[in-house]
Amino acid sequence: MNRPKSRAISILTISLTALALFALILIGIGYVEVNKVLHPPRRVATGKTLRELNIPYESVDLLTADGVRLSAWYTPPRKDAVVLVAHGYGDHRVVWVHEILARKGYGVLAWDARAHGTSGGDISTVGYLEVLDVKAALDFALAQPGVDHVGAWGGSMGGATLIRAAALYPQIEALFVDSPFASLDDELDYLIPYPIINPLAKVLAQVKTGVDVSDVSPLDVIGQISPRPVYLVQGTGDRTAPPDSAERLFQMAKEPRFLWTEENVPHLGMYLDNPRRYKKALVEFFDTWLLGGIR
C-alpha cells in the first residue's frame, strides 16, 4: 500500500473514532440530563408544620389508576368545598397554600406527586402521568362527606398538570395556577438550550417513558376548561419556566380567565413578593367561583 493512501486511511480512522467518541459523550450527557428529570430529588414535608399551625388534617393514601400509591394530607371542609393542591417539580406538599385555604374553611387535599416526597413511583413524567395523580385526588375528595364542590391550586409542574386535568375532568370547577409552563417542549428548550443535547434528551426521555414530550401541552387544552374559570399567576423574573408562559396560556384560555403578572418576580415568588394580595386573590377567587360569593 502506498504511503499517501495509508495516511489517508489513518486520518479517516482517527476522524471516525473521534466522531464516535463525541457521539458517545453527547449520548452520555443526554442520558444524565434525562435521568435527572425522570428522578427528581425527594424532598419530604412533615405534618409537624401543619400541627404547629393548628391546622387539622389526616394522613391518607391515594391510589392512581396505574397503581401508584400517593401520600397525602386531607383537611375536611367547614364549607362544602375542597381545593386540591398540586406542587411543582422536585417539591412536596405545599404547606402555605394548605394553611391559607384551611383557615378560610376550605377542605384541602395536598399530595406528593409520583416519584416525589414519600409517594410511590420511580419516574416523574413532568405532567403527563401526573394527571392520574390528580384524578385519584379528585375521586377521593368527591367521595368525602359534605363535599359538593372541588377547586384546585397548582404550582409550576402541578399547575401545568392541573390545566391538563381540568380539561379532562369537569368536576374541577375552578383553577388557580402559579408559574406553570405552557408546554413541556418549551420547558425543556428553556432549561436545556443546547442545539445537539436538547433534541437528544427529548428522544431519550421518550424512549425511557414512552411519553412524547409534545403530548404534555397545557397550551393546547386550556381553552377546553371554559366556562369554568382559570386564574394565572407568574412573575417575569421566572428562571425555571419561560417567563411568558402565563401570558401565552391566558391568550389561549377562554372566559372567565384572569391574569396577574409582576416584573422581576421569580418562579413561584408572587406570594413572597406580595402575600396580602396573593391571599386575597386566592381566597376571593374560590369564594366567588366555588361558593358563589358566600363566605
Q: How far is CA 119 from CA 64, 115, 194, 206, in A?
A: 11, 6, 33, 23
How confident is the model at residue 24, as a pLDDT? 47
Residue ranges of domains in the chain, CATH in brackets: 39-182+217-289 (3.40.50.1820)
Q: How far is CA 210 from CA 88, 183, 254, in A?
A: 22, 17, 31
How confident is the model at residue 22, as a pLDDT? 47
Q: Count H helices, E strands: the chain?
A: 11, 8
How confident is the model at residue 295, as a pLDDT? 43
How confident is the model at residue 28, as a pLDDT? 52
Contact 258, 282 (CB under 8 A): no
- Please name every residue paired with 69 in a beta bridge, in sequence order, or none if there are none: 63
Closest CA to 90 of 158, 34, 171: 158
How confident is the model at residue 206, as a pLDDT? 80
pLDDT digit string (tens) for the chain, length 295 residues: 566 666 656 665 665 555 454 444 545 555 455 556 677 888 888 878 999 999 999 999 999 999 999 999 999 999 899 999 999 999 999 999 999 999 999 999 999 999 999 999 999 999 999 999 999 999 999 999 999 999 999 999 999 999 999 999 999 999 999 999 999 999 888 887 777 777 777 877 787 788 888 899 999 999 999 999 999 999 999 999 999 999 999 999 999 999 999 999 999 999 999 999 999 999 999 999 999 854 4
Q: Is the peptide bond before 193 cis (omega within 30 degrees of 0)?
A: no
